[in-house]
Every structure is written in structure tokens, then in C-alpha cells.
Amino acid sequence: MQTDLRNRDLIGDLDFSKEEVETVLDVAFDLKRKRALGEPHAYLRDKVLAMLFFFSSTRTRGSFEAGIAQLGGHGAFIESKSTQISHGDTPKEIGEIFGRYYDGIAIRHCDWAIGNGYLNAVAKASRVPVLNMQCDVYHPFQCLADLMTIIEKKGRDLRRKKMVVSWAYAASYQKPMSVPQSLILQMPRFGLDVVLAHPPEFRLMPEIMDQAQEQARKFGVGFEVVNDMEEAFKDADIVYAKSWGAMVHTPDADEGAKIIKKYSHWITDERKMALAKSDAIYMHPLPADRNIEVTDGVMDGPNSVVYDEAENRLHAQKAVMALTMR
């Protein structure tokens, strides 16, 4: 167990070593137990977390706000559009000033080719930890919750388990690619054989792919890329299928929307889920475009763990805050 994570930023999934992630999970499971038993755990009494949002949120805001309160602290919700950030406050100024007002700064900024750079610029100027509530490159807290859920459902020994990370059709908007990128970076470290499936235009960032392959080699697991959803689903233990945009192929939103329409058959339905193992779990970070991205039968079916997965956001985030903001 790595016990000293005080004042550490968590912006990218590899910012914490495998051993440090294991520490986070140990603490998260303990905090989940304490909440279930009603045991007080106000480890961050009088601490205040700035929660700065450039991008709308449901689970992220709710889980961070509830989590810091359950730890004895307070979460300050700050929307960029309603502050002077929209009129000139720079990342350096936010880091310097919020780092003096608050005990931690959590930021959600998903604008393509902007978000991650903004978080790192704030972190460079801040004297308190900066936590990534999702950017254009990474979604580390979702990934920690996903890993926690997989361990709950499949046990701690995940070696030789097959995890499919698949693109799925969604017509609502070009969603960030941060979730699949975090998954392919983190999951090989814990023994999972990862199969990444997507149409050709929906490839992930080349540097992230290189890092994922490096992690797979380091930990002796499989990492494969296919362009066929059904091929990927065969004999899977874990199916994680969600939409993301074609930003690497084209940053143009209109062109990206046209490309998305070509692949409406990439839906997670009962027929495709039947290709996976009978005890396979279906995962999604939510919100999902129901009966477009995934059918009701899968989302609400016996293999779905999406609500347990959403709950675990709370516990994983509390663990990181408790470890970094003390």
C-alpha cells in the first residue's frame, strides 16, 4: 500500500502507479463499507473543494458534491460561464487564486484540444491538488469506478478476462473520447485482455494508443484493435460499449456528425450481448442514448451493472479526495 498521496494531482490515468491505484481501491472499498454501516468518516472536516465546470454534468457533480460532504467538507460549484473565467481569468490565475482559497480544485473541461492543457496549466500554478473530473483526453475517476465495479463482479484476479471497449452509435452529439482512452490505459495494468472495437474513423489518439500498448506489454496481457463490433463481443467477460466522436479523424463537428450516421448498426442489443459469455457484464458511464446506443433490454437487463458502476463513482472519488486533500 502506498500511503502518502498528499497533495498529488490526478489528471491522467498513469499519474498514479498501479500500487497507488490499488491503495485508492482499498480506501474506496472501506469507505463504501463505512457508508453502508452508517459509520462516520469525516476525514476532510472543514476542507473545501472547488468544482469548476466547463461542461454539463449529472453524476460527476452529484457524486463529488455528495462525496466531499460525506467526508466532512464542502463542495463549491463554479460554472465557468457565470464567472470572470469567461471574460479573461487565465488558468494561471485560477491555479494561483483558487489554490489559496480552496483545499483542492476539481475541473471538468472537455473541449477538444483545450481541456487537458487547461487542467495542466491550472495544476502548474496551484499549491493544492488538481483533480480531473473529465477532460478531452482522460476520465480517470470514471475509470477508477469502472475498475472497482469489475473487481466487485469478477473478483480481484482479472488475468485472462476479456474486456471489450467498443464504440457505439449515438446521435445526440460528438462525445469525448476520454472514457475509452482511460480504459485502455488502466485496465491492462490489472490483468485484463482488452479488445478495442470501433469503425475506422473513430480511432483514438495515437499517443494514447502507444501508451496502452506499452502497458499491455509491461503487464503481459493482450491488446487488440478490431473494426467489427460482433467479432469483438465474442466470448467477452466485460462489455463496455459507448459512443465517442471522430475528432482524431476530423475536428469538424459537421463532418463528424455525417460520419456517425454511417454506423447506426453499432448498437448494443440482446443479439450482440448473446455473443459474449453468459455471465458477461454490460457497462456504460451514462447517460446513454437509449434504443440508439443500447437497447432497453440490455441497459435494464440482468447483465447490466450500470447503476452499481454509477454508485462507485462516489466511493472512488471520496477515496482520492481523502488521500490527496488531507
149-169 pLDDT, tens digit each: 999 999 999 999 999 999 999
All three cell numbers of 76, joined, read 463549491
Question: Helical H runs in 102-205?
Answer: 115-125, 140-154, 178-186
Q: How many CA atoms lie within 13 A of 27 on its CB side?
A: 25
Crossing angle of the two packed helices 140-154 and 18-37, in degrees rounded to 10: 70
Q: What single-letter amino acid sits at 242? A: K
Place of cell 500500487: 19
pLDDT of residue 174: 87
Distance between terminal CA atoms of the chain?
Answer: 17
Beta bridge partners of 52: 78, 107
| Euclidean distance between CA atoms 94 and 97, whole angstroms | 5
What percent of the chain is modeled with pLDDT above 70? 100
pLDDT of residue 253: 86
pLDDT class of 242 with cuts at 50, 70, 90 = very high
Q: What is the Cα gyration radius of the chain? A: 19
Compute CA distances 227 → 26, 146, 203, 223, 249, whole Å. Answer: 36, 24, 10, 14, 15
Contact assessment for residue 235 and residue 279, using Cβ atoms and an 8 Å cutoff: no
Nearest to 13 by CA among 150, 145, 182: 182
pLDDT, mean of residues 77-106: 95
CATH 3.40.50.1370 fits 142-309, yes or no: yes
pLDDT, mean of residues 26-30: 98
User: How many C-beta atoms lie closer than 10 Å to residue 156's C-beta?
Assistant: 11
pLDDT, mean of residues 39-52: 98
- The domain made up of 13-139+313-324 has a fold known as Rossmann fold (3.40.50)
Per the prediction, the chain carries an average pLDDT of 97
| Euclidean distance between CA atoms 299 and 239, whole angstroms | 12
| Euclidean distance between CA atoms 201 and 244, whole angstroms | 11
Q: Tell me: the pLDDT tens digits for 252-308?
A: 988 998 999 999 999 999 999 999 999 999 999 999 999 999 999 999 999 999 999
Q: For residue 177, give the DSSP letter.
A: S
pLDDT, mean of residues 139-150: 98
Compute CA distances 235 → 164, 165, 238, 241, 280, whole Å. Answer: 10, 13, 9, 15, 8
| Euclidean distance between CA atoms 14 and 216, whole angstroms | 13
What percent of the chain is modeled with pLDDT above 90? 92
Contact assessment for residue 183 and residue 143, using Cβ atoms and an 8 Å cutoff: yes
pLDDT class of 173 with cuts at 50, 70, 90 = confident
pLDDT at 118 over 90: yes
| Euclidean distance between CA atoms 163 and 69, whole angstroms | 34
Q: Where in the chain is the domain with CATH 3.40.50.1370?
A: 13-139+313-324, 142-309
| Euclidean distance between CA atoms 130 and 124, whole angstroms | 9
pLDDT of residue 172: 72
Nearest to 242 by CA among 261, 219, 268: 268
| Euclidean distance between CA atoms 154 and 192, whole angstroms | 11
Contact assessment for residue 63 and residue 145, using Cβ atoms and an 8 Å cutoff: no
